[in-house]
Amino acid sequence: MSFETEFLSASADFTAWCKTALAYWAEHGCDPRGGAYEHLFMDGSPDADHLRRVRVQARFVYVYAHAADLGWYDGQDTCDHVWRFLTGPGFAGGDFIGNGPKGCAHLVTGTGAMHDDMRDTYAQAFVLLAGAWRYKAFDDQAALKVAEDTLKYLDSHVKADNGGWYEALPAPVSKQRRQNPHMHLFESFLALYELTGQATYLARADEMFVLFEAYFFDAERKALLEFFNPDWSPENGDGGPTEPGHMMEWCWLLRVYERLSGKNMDAYANALFEGGMDYGLNPKLGLLCDAVELDGRPSKPTLRSWPQTELIKASVAQAAAGQTKYFEDATKAIRALMTYYLDVPVKGGWADQLDPDGHIISKVMPTSTFYHLFCAAAEADKLAQSLG
């Protein structure tokens, strides 16, 4: 079979798994009291009273809105259930902010009581993404308004004078700045532009690309710097350790940006893909490790599932950009994900992390992982559909 044919087969299997997972998590991942559980145990039972990150609720909303838009699962009731929890208990607190929109909180309890009303910039990015997709899937104007208000909060309270946004409000004592929240804001701005057609969001994405080019991307080492001082100088001199999964995530996003902006991203996308593979690949298993020092030493040789989904998305994006050799990478990454992480007793569940020898070490199935898995399946399917 050709690489394209093998890819079509792998993508179809991944899509079928994802549809099973959508049904499973709609039934077992939602708490009747409100919202989605933070995680399930490996046997599928819920950890009902565990603290819940509000951003995980937004990720869950994104999954079911996007799935509904694709026709993969009629999950509006599920999406609505979690959206109410997100925008109700998840938006409480924040009295330290003052006037105007206050964004979402950080942590709530299983019953929806406030546990930590910090306003984390990373979390706000997922509220933007969830609002964008609810608008697209359900014509939910109120959800788009929530996204707009969240952006107003970011601009009013945590926007930095030297580009981007600070980590949170109240400001962390460390003053550290990271590329990660900006990467997800880039993702959300691109989605908002594509789903609403409003040019202002593409202009926002342009701002994130400027940060990427100026600070995050190390062309010489084909690397992504992760951590910075307040003036955007690399923390500890090198900005590491870096995460190969993030290199792949940026590769995918830059190809989305290329498609929407018309700007050629070859140099950046190719370098990040090559760097991610060079720095992070576990050669025994063909999987990406969790983190690595920029001198090549693994700082976290463990293997979470989400870097593998980002490898799928990056490979798919590279192939869609006309580099057909990446069909092989995409196919291998899908097959590896399904073999090592998705072949578990709970059909529609997953293993979250392996040791360097490929043994499962995770004790729970994090709900947050569904965002990565679903998005990878959707991206693979989109390319498969374009091939006819």
- Which amino acid is residue 106, in one-letter code? H
For 22-66, how does the pLDDT look when each residue is reduced to its tens digit (9 = 90+)?
A: 999 999 999 999 999 999 999 999 999 999 999 999 999 999 999
Q: What is the largest CA-CA distance in the chain?
A: 62
Q: What radius of gyration, in Å, describes the C-alpha atoms of the chain?
A: 20
Contact (Cβ atoms closer than 8 angstroms) between residue 126 and residue 59: yes
pLDDT at 2: 81
Give the whole-angstrom CA distance, residue 43 versus residue 49.
17
226 pLDDT band, cuts 50/70/90, is very high
Contact (Cβ atoms closer than 8 angstroms) between residue 150 and residue 160: no
Give the whole-angstrom CA distance, residue 351 versus residue 356.
14
222 phi-psi bin (left φ>0, alpha ψ -120 to 50, beta other): left
Reduce the DSSP state of residue 148 to 3 states and report it.
Answer: helix
Give the chain's end-to-end CA distance (angstroms, integer).
Answer: 16
pLDDT at 212: 98
Residue 1 predicted with pLDDT over 90: no
Give the whole-angstrom CA distance, residue 296 versus residue 242.
10
pLDDT at 297: 78
Domains and CATH numbers, the chain: 3-386 (1.50.10.10)
pLDDT at 12: 98
Token code pair at residue 186: 């880039």
DSSP designation for 223: E
pLDDT at 131: 98
For 365-379, how does the pLDDT look when each residue is reduced to its tens digit (9 = 90+)?
A: 999 999 999 999 999
DSSP designation for 92: -
CA dist list (Å): 342 to 127, 335, 336: 27, 10, 9
For 110-129, how does the pLDDT look when each residue is reduced to its tens digit (9 = 90+)?
A: 999 999 999 999 999 999 99
- Which amino acid is residue 66, in one-letter code? H
Contact (Cβ atoms closer than 8 angstroms) between residue 305 and residue 369: yes
Residue 155 predicted with pLDDT over 90: yes
How far is C-alpha 340 from the chain's CA centre? 20
Q: For all residues of the chain together, what is the average pLDDT?
A: 97
For 304-363, how does the pLDDT look when each residue is reduced to its tens digit (9 = 90+)?
A: 999 999 999 999 999 999 999 999 999 999 999 999 999 999 999 999 999 999 999 999
Nearest Cα neighbor of 366 from 348, 347, 352 is 352
User: Strands, DSSP E only, in the chain?
Assistant: 39-41, 52-53, 107-108, 114-116, 119-120, 168-169, 177-178, 217-218, 223-224, 227-228, 281-282, 287-288, 291-292, 298-300, 303-304, 353-354, 364-366
Nearest Cα neighbor of 108 from 89, 88, 128 is 89
How would you class 355 by CB atoms within 10 Å of its CB: exposed for 0-12, middle for 13-18, buried for 19 or more? Answer: exposed
Residue 210 predicted with pLDDT over 70: yes
Residue 89 predicted with pLDDT over 70: yes
Give the whole-angstrom CA distance, residue 202 versus residue 190.
6
pLDDT at 3: 84
Residue 80 predicted with pLDDT over 70: yes
Report the percent of the chain where pLDDT is more than 90. 96
How would you class 20 by CB atoms within 10 Å of its CB: exposed for 0-12, middle for 13-18, buried for 19 or more? Answer: middle
Contact (Cβ atoms closer than 8 angstroms) between residue 34 and residue 40: no
